[in-house]
Every structure is written in C-alpha cells, then in structure tokens.
Structure 1
C-alpha cells in the first residue's frame, strides 16, 4: 500500500499548481504539509516545522512513507485550494516573497498565512494603519554598536528620537521620500532593516533591527501601506497594482570597480561601488540612474578617445558618460545586467521631483532615484 501511495503522491505533485512551492513558488517541491494539504520546497518545509506539528505536519515526498488518509488530504486540497483559503485577503501593500528573498520575509509570510491566519481574518492585519510607534535598535553612525531608539510613524512622516522622553526628533523623514529594504546579510542581523532617504543633497541610511522578526516585518509592511495610501491620493488615476512596484526597491549588488574621470588623461581609480543598498551611511559620490527612454544606457567598452582598462563598460546619461571597469568578464556582465534592470524600469511618480531637488545642490554627483549608483574610496564592512 505504501508503494501505491508513494506513486499517487508522485503524480499529484506534477499537477498544475502543485508543481511549484505553495509558499515561495520554487519549482519541483520535494516536501508536503499533509494536514494543510500543500506541496512545499525544502526551505519552506523548514519554516513549516518551526510552526509546530499542531499547525503543519511535514513529510518528504520520497523519503517518508504515506498512508491513505494523508494522501487523501493532499488530493482533496492541493496548492490551488489552499491558496484560495490562506491567501484570500492579501492587502496590496504586503510583499509576497519569492524564492531567494530574505529569510525573515519568508518566515513571517508562512507564519502570517498558517499560524496567525492574517489573510483569512482581515482584522489581524495590524500593519494596515496610519500611525505606529515603538523601539528599534539603531546602528550608531561612527561605530558598529546598536542602541535603542524610539521610532514614530505619523502624518506621513517617520521620526526617531534619541531618548524615549525627548521632545524633538533627531530626524524627520517624509515617507514619500523613504525607501525601506530588508538587509540581514549586509547588517549581520537576521532582522535587519535599512531606511534610505535624501538629506542636504546626499543619501542618508539608517540601519535598525529588532529581536522579533514579526516586529520588523510589521514595520516594513506598515511603511509600505502608508506609502501606498499616499501614492493613491497623489496619483488617483493609477491603480494599487500599478503603484505597488514603486513602494520599495531591493537592488543588491556591490563590489570593486575602477572608475576614470571625464578627461582623456584621467587615470582609473579603484572604488567600492554599490547599486542602491549602501553599507556606508554617507556615500562619496552618486550617479542618478534614469529610464532608458530618456537617454540612459549601459554598454561594453569605452567611448572613442578614452583609455581602455581591464573589462570596461560605459554608463551613459544625458549629461555625462561614466567609464568604469570590472576585474573580470563575469563581474562586468553582473554589473551591467543589474544596471540594465534599473534602466528598464520606469521612474516612480515622485522620482522627477527628487531629481530636480538634488540637481540644484549637487550638480557634480547628479541626483538619486529609484536606485542609487554610489561609490566610496574604501570598502566599509
């Protein structure tokens, strides 16, 4: 009988809907939660085990034996029906993770679905709010230590205070100008969050974390929700689905490149480049990356009259062509692919305003946008 059930399971996982992980979409799942009735990948199976067997009972499709009742449950439910139940009311602001996304995002997505059942019972979605207050651990500017700071979201702004009873905030940021992204690997914090915004003509980054992964995702989702509400008011003709891609960005690529100046005699100088996610709170220089249809482009090689160097490539903007080189051909391809992805994405509705404001202050650095291409003389870790 076990051989018959194993064959049934092998056939069920091949059906449309079942052939990808019910939680992250990874093809060819190798596990299943038989009491929920879904097929899942190895990574998601680990998170399901952490829920406890009272919520999710996990088995391997190939290594474990299956009884009639378990197979019948999988056959009756399956991924499609389970999604209809557990993902019925996902708010537009909520970021549904894909395979390879930060673990904290995937963990809380699974807990939200099956443990807290947030998308079955809408009243459990506490991040659908206009204000929020709490304590997060903030990284100090000049050292690697983190200190507790009070953060407040209200009136479409984010404020943080050095002391709990402080009357004036240390910083106030308009949420419309704020980018928030999960950065656990860069910060060496499982629940790390990076807040980026413009101040005095430069990019500023605040790094925070919390011991609770649920809390950090609550802040992440709340900021996305309030930003979406602001965009829907500012751009009433756009649908929520059209605006969601502009809530937050996660371009992650950084490494050593050599950069030359605008003159033919300028030498190549080694710089640490970062596309969007910066390790340093204050970059030395920034290049605005616009939309490809507005005369932004990326090409291999150098312009005529410019000295070639290693594996060179040119970032073309309306005002200047930036010439850089990578240490290997693969690195050049990686950088060019990442930059091209940015250039092929239309500007966010508010990006042109940011560009104009920054241009008046930093003509030599040329702005910031949906993503920043920044560089520093030294690597910061």
Structure 2
C-alpha cells in the first residue's frame, strides 16, 4: 500500500476516536480538517481561521500527508490539546458552538492558541474579564434614529451594573444604569449590520429594552461579551447560591430560539393584520413583537406557559381576516386569549410551530414563575399608565 493511502487510512481511523470526532474548537461533528502543528482535528470553518493564524492545516481526505505529520496527529489529538490549551478556562467564558458568529469562533481560537489565555499560567496584566470592572467606548444605535454614535460604557461587578454615558468624560449624569440581573447579551451581526454587532437586552420600567452596539475591533467586542458574562455569573452565584455551575452557565447569556416577521391581528380577530417582528425568548417563555427588528422597545409580549396550564400551539387557517398578505397560519392559545399569526412561507410556519412547541412542552421551572409574575406586574403597570 502506498504511503499516501496508508496515511489517509490512519487519519480516518484517528478522527473516529470519540475525542477527535468533533471539532476541537466549536464541537461541530465529523471534522474533516486537521492542524498538524497543533495535532488537532477541526471543522472547515475553524480550519479557515487556523490558516489565518498561520497554523498548518490540511484536509484529511483531500490533501497529501507526510509520515511526520501523521505521527504528530497520532501522538497528540484533541484530548491532549484541551489539557494544554483549555486547562484553565473560566466557567463563564463563552465556548462557541458550530452555528455561532465568526467573531466568537475566531477570538476563542486566538485566545486559546495565540494569546494562551487558558494554560493556567499567571498573566500580567490579567485578562479584562477576570477583573470585575471594564470600561470603554462602543458604537451605539440611537433609540429613535438609525445612526450609531460612540458612547462610554462602564461595567461593575461590585455594583452589578452596566452604565452608559453620552459624554465619555462622565461629567454628565449617566444616560442609563442597567442592573446586571436583567441583562442579556447576544451577537447579532446580520441583524445589526456589522460583523461585531452585539444586542443587549434588559427589563426597563414598563417594557423590555434593547441596545444595539458594536466595536471596530473584534477582540474588544468579544472581551465586552465575556466581561458581561463574568459579571452575570457572579450575580447568579449570589442569586442562586445552591445552584451548580452546570445549572447556572445556561442562564448567563442566551440566544433567542426564533426571530422573524409574522402578521398579527387584534384580540377580536377581525382587525387588520399588521406585519411585526417577533422574537421568542425560550428562557423567559416570552414571545415579543416589535414594529421592526432594531426597535429599542417592544410593542407587546405574550407569555407562553406549558401545555398542562392550557397553552397550546397549532397550525391554522383564519376564518376571516382583513389586510393579511400571508396565508400560513399559527395559533397560540393561552388561558385568556387566542392569538393568530400569519407567515409568508410554509417553511417559516413550520419553524415557528416547532420553536413555540418546544416552549409549550417544557415544564415550568422556578425562574419561569418569577418571569411570569414580573410579566403580569408589567402588564398591570402598562394598563394603569
């Protein structure tokens, strides 16, 4: 057997081993690439980033491998690499998933192999996300206007707050002081229109508020993200003192389960259908709707309880409707009202049905009851305004 064929067979056997069968960096299954100077198996997307870092990358199926390269892969592998490069990853530090944005994936890889942040060696100065305090300038979208302006943000673990100012000297009073208790951060590059776009969401006095920001530098925006996660994790440790790290980590930050446009009618189901941007937050069990994707404040929200409490989701065709251009219907039944939504395409309808049913089928957790209570209080406050 030729050396090339033998080497490829060895690589194909190595990548079947449990610790090598997923990408070492993002966890994508069945990696088909490898870095032979690091001795790790990676997916195509991570391989592209490694190549930009000047790591030696080859396809395990399409490229020719020399004996010395294969020996490196045999003597290393993903498990050994993690023991070295991920020895001291903080619990709160975000590990990217296969479908995450490029900026998260790239900065995770750079932090591991280029900056060697997780080898357990003492660094000076220490990484920003370990200090409990962070400040800097971010480009922030105006509440009513579409342009972005630089604003100074200050994050404090001592106060559990994120504060931002219109004046970077902090002479003027802060524009907003956001308690970390209600804060969520998620990358939204396509939605914001910038590869480093970050959406910050928190509970305002009477509604959910959104802040859209970005930083020109990719390392800085990911540092902000992990600083926010560090402070959120510290808060959760005080709010849920008996919670394990595995229980708290999913609560630090989360992505929305589903976003997109649907048409919505009023409570009588005879009102004109209006196009709205919907967001399903599975953790809070709320379906928010906005006039447009980058609105700062919600138009309304619907709490999605479990099936045993008389909540249900199903496909429908409305009996009568005015103004609707779309024909693929979704019905959400709650104990007090039935909601009718229309999707433009059947694919969207199926995705919304699947996402909503995931929430309906999930049992109520203790934090869900707190979320529902807060939701009821806000609704009562809005009626009294």
Smaller-chain TM-score bracket: 0.7 to 0.9
Paired residues of 2:263 and 2:275 also in contact (CA < 8 A): yes
Residues of 2 paired with 1:164 and 1:69: CA distance? 55
Residues of 2 paired with 1:122 and 1:295: CA distance? 54
Report the equivalent of 1:170: 175
Q: Which of 150, 153, 157 is 1:151 aligned to?
A: 153
Stretch of structure 1 that moved more, 10-19 or 170-179: 10-19
> Where in structure 2 are the equivalents of 1:1-381 lying within 5 Å?
1-52=3-54, 56-121=55-120, 123=122, 125-154=127-156, 155-167=159-171, 168-251=173-256, 253-263=258-268, 266-276=270-280, 278-292=293-307, 294-301=309-316, 307=320, 310-344=327-361, 352-353=369-370, 355-363=372-380
SS of residue paired to 2:19: coil
Distance 1:347 1:165, change over 3 A: farther
Deviations 1:254-273 (CA, angstroms, capped at 9, x unpaired) = 33323232225x13503223
SS of residue paired to 1:200: coil
Paired residues of 1:254 and 1:274 also in contact (CA < 8 A): yes
The TM-score with structure 1 as length reference comes to 0.86
Aligned residues: 360
The TM-score with structure 2 as length reference comes to 0.85
Deviations 1:290-340 (CA, angstroms, capped at 9, x unpaired) = 45554433222379xx64883322212333221222233322111111223
Structure 2 residue runs of 5 or longer lacking an equivalent are 282-292
Residues of 2 paired with 1:357 and 1:66: CA distance? 60
Structure 1 residue runs of 5 or longer lacking an equivalent are 367-381
Distance 1:364 1:153, change over 3 A: closer
Deviations 1:189-221 (CA, angstroms, capped at 9, x unpaired) = 111111111223122111111111111111111
Paired residues of 1:201 and 1:358 also in contact (CA < 8 A): no
Distance 1:302 1:246, change over 3 A: farther
SS of residue paired to 1:89: coil
Paired residues of 1:250 and 1:276 also in contact (CA < 8 A): no
Report the equivalent of 1:376: none
Deviations 1:340-360 (CA, angstroms, capped at 9, x unpaired) = 334455667655445434433
SS of residue paired to 1:360: helix
Higher relative contact order (CA 8 A, sep 6+): 1
Deviations 1:105-152 (CA, angstroms, capped at 9, x unpaired) = 111111111111222136454312322111111112233322111100
